[in-house]
Structure 1
């Protein structure tokens, strides 16, 4: 079976709505802190615990997509996401909410099952473009989730967002059960052999190591910003509420428009050429953030550049690893995305630490250092001239 454009758009739609579960909590930090009578930086733990849960789910659950029928796995894991969201919505202590956030992250890995499914059903010449379209849906879900949750949290309280998300996932289960194609597993061994083969690819695939490391630092930068900016915008001179903070996610959605183009460019002979552009855009965005002060339009411009840069880095790297070993795409994607979201979790925690130590200026300096390190890594791997199969 080959994917039609309608199939690809449906997958992008489902991917965006499910991945949104990971990010709903970010604009709600202030509201959560008030209800549980904790500081905002402590409430921020919910953000990196969700990302840590996502990394755990990627490591333990996504490889099963090469071993079991993907459609059934997608439906079961989305069912677990519904349960996790309900636990968060009805939690009566911050401890329970933190546990629920880990479970929400672990059960929101469905997009990383949809992407390899789509890659397997796409032709070689269209694979990058297909991945780019679905990544657009994913990025719109990530960035739109912040605007939606900020608005709903402001109007009806932070619990309402988790309960509404549970209802959305229930509708998606019904839709995916009806429309998603079935797929045959490609791995015949047991779970131990499956995981062993995955770690074997880390040793034997230099492109996988390169893409994972660069993505680790890129995700750390992006996640540190989206966690710390909540505290920045809630402080003087802005003093914004969750509704206003959430609306800044709309600015980041501009990056989603770049994903199909980046994906198409990644189908060419030199897919790495987009990486440096993405890294430089991220660096320019941090400079804009540093000089924002009262200039909110400069801040918005920085968000747009940051997310377009992230798209250039992520879509390019993901297209590259999908071209390595077709029958092991789930396992390769597991390594790649697990490392990426460990980076996201570390970035969120580091961003909160930098904020506590030196507020916004120190956060910007720290982020600039991380991006500069990533640029050095890019040139290091470029000099080694690793072979590309994409």
Structure 2
């Protein structure tokens, strides 16, 4: 069952990313601009952010099995609608529905955590995360190739078939669970918003991830346009090959998790933000074309993928340490902000590319990352002084002789 749940996480996350490689094919198939075709990518990410905020909190209120099966059924319908769309508005509508309901990975996490013993929980959640990363990589890798061979509609229809197959399998495998909360739905939503306003460390993680994920989405949304354009003249299958580079990320995130356990999330955030800035500098070399440009794009996308995913490990560790009894709602607030940043990055990035080209997209990544890096550098010393002061007070009390 763990394998099936990990595959389900991969498919759910893959539904967000596979349209990125199809932007040029959608533009040609629907006779629209690349900017208009990129709207389908943004619509999926906006829908996903909405689904995290509106639907994931229901995991505390409804049985996980019922909620997950309903979401999968709606996702399959949305993929069919998008794959059969005859115009851009219908494609955008289907994309919004797909994004809104393909939040299964966020429902499966709490479900799996409640089904295993405490000493196995981290290992199980790590396996599910590997499934999500693998789904993201494979979706981008094969959607471009499949779309180039058979048309942009086929990846949507193939994803729909896969979702319905998983729906049938999970209907037989998933156990019945009982709700953990009897709070009304408006109270669940209000709690996520309240936590966002009352927890400074939650806001900190949201800001870091939203900024980095916006740059990440801008790069991957416009990379397909660059590779298939006049500079390189490649097919959309090349975008899929670039996605395979991100397989290294699946090996790096466990190492980042161990580093967070030993040193805390702050140092990992610092290294990851510097990695994002370095990736932008390397990616800028992609404007020169030829073999050297391709090498720059490969190294740059690898750096960006590793930095974004490892930064997510650090940010989630900071969030989950705040209030263990409210982790689902904390995760709802965090992931909503992250994917709102990603959807904004896709939309703005496509406009920046139309105006300034690939160099403008790389500059956009720098503009997003530099302020949060400066904020991190300015706030970390103050936090360290506060911890040292607290430790000093505690130690002075501990060293007093007994009365």
Determine if contact 1:125/1:267 at 8 Å carries over to the other structure: no
Unaligned 5+ segments in structure 1 are 1-5
* 1:64 corresponds to: 58
Q: Which has the higher helix share?
A: 2
* Secondary structure of 2:245 counterpart: helix
Q: Partners in 1 of 2:111 and 2:378 — Cα distance?
A: 33
Q: Can you list the C-alpha shifts for 1:350-385, whole angstroms capped at 9, x where unaligned?
A: 111111111011111121121112212322442342
1:221 has 2:215 as partner: yes
Please name the residue that 2:9 is paired with. Answer: 15
In the alignment, does 2:301 pair up with 1:307?
no
SS in 2 for 1:239: coil
Q: 1:285 aligns with which of 275, 279, 290?
A: 279
Report the equivalent of 1:328: 326
Shift of 1:128: 5.3
1:234 paired to 2:228: yes
The 2-side partners of 1:63 and 1:353 are apart by 34
TM-score calculated relative to the size of structure 1: 0.92
Structure 2 unaligned residues grouped into runs of 5+: 388-403
Partner of 1:107: 101
The equivalent position to 2:77 in structure 1, one of 73, 77, 83, is: 83
| 8 Å Cα contact 1:186/1:327 also seen in 2 | no
- Tell me, yes or no, if structure 1 residue 379 matches structure 2 residue 377: yes
Shift of 1:136: 2.2
How far off is 1:183 after superposition? 3.6
Q: Name the structure 2 match of 1:351.
A: 349
Distance 1:263 1:380 in 2: 24
Match of 1:159 among 147, 153, 162: 153
Q: Is the 8 Å Cα contact of residues 45 and 349 (structure 1) preserved in structure 2? A: yes
Question: What secondary structure sits across from 1:44 in the alignment?
Answer: helix
Alignment partners' CA distance in 2, 1:348 and 1:381: 29
1:201 aligns to 2:195 (yes or no): yes
Distance 1:186 1:269 in 2: 33
Mapped to 2, the partners of 1:108 and 1:384 lie a distance apart of 40
Separation in 2, partners of 1:192, 1:15: 27
* Change in CA separation of 1:364 and 1:49 when aligned onto 2, cut-off 3 Å: same
Query: Matched residues in 1 for 2:112 and 2:253: separation?
Result: 16
1: CA distance, partners of 2:308 / 2:369: 11
- Check conservation: 2:64, 2:107, Cα contact below 8 A: yes
Distance 2:214 2:15 in 1: 19
CA contact (8 A) 1:57 1:106 kept: yes
Residue 175 of structure 1 is matched in structure 2 by 169
CA displacement at 1:65 relative to structure 2 = 0.8
Paired residue for 1:36, among 12, 22, 30? 30
Deviation at 1:120, TM superposition (A): 4.7
| Contact kept? 1:129, 1:263, Cα under 8 Å | no
- How many residue pairs get aligned? The number is 382
Instruction: Find the counterpart in structure 1 of residue 243 from structure 2.
Output: 249
In structure 2, the CA distance between the partners of 1:121 and 1:311, relative to structure 1 (3 Å rule), is farther
Distance, in Å, in 2 between the alignment partners of 1:276 and 1:90 is: 45
Shift of 1:73: 0.7
Mapped partners of 1:90, 1:45: distance in 2: 17
SS at match of 1:184: coil
CA distance in 2, matches of 1:181, 1:216: 35
Per-residue deviation, 1:124: 6.5
Distance (whole Å) between structure 2 residues aligned to residue 266 and residue 176 of structure 1? 34
| More off after superposition, 56-65 vs 269-278 | 269-278
Larger displacement relative to structure 2 (222-231 or 195-204)? 195-204
Aligned CA RMSD, in angstroms, stands at 2.1
Please say which of residues 37-46 and 119-128 is displaced more in the overlay.
119-128
Larger CA Rg, structure 1 vs 2: 2
Partner of 2:178: 184
1:188 deviates by 1.6
Cα contact 2:215–2:364 (8 A) shared by 1: no
Rounded Cα–Cα distance in structure 2 between residues aligned with 1:28 and 1:266: 36
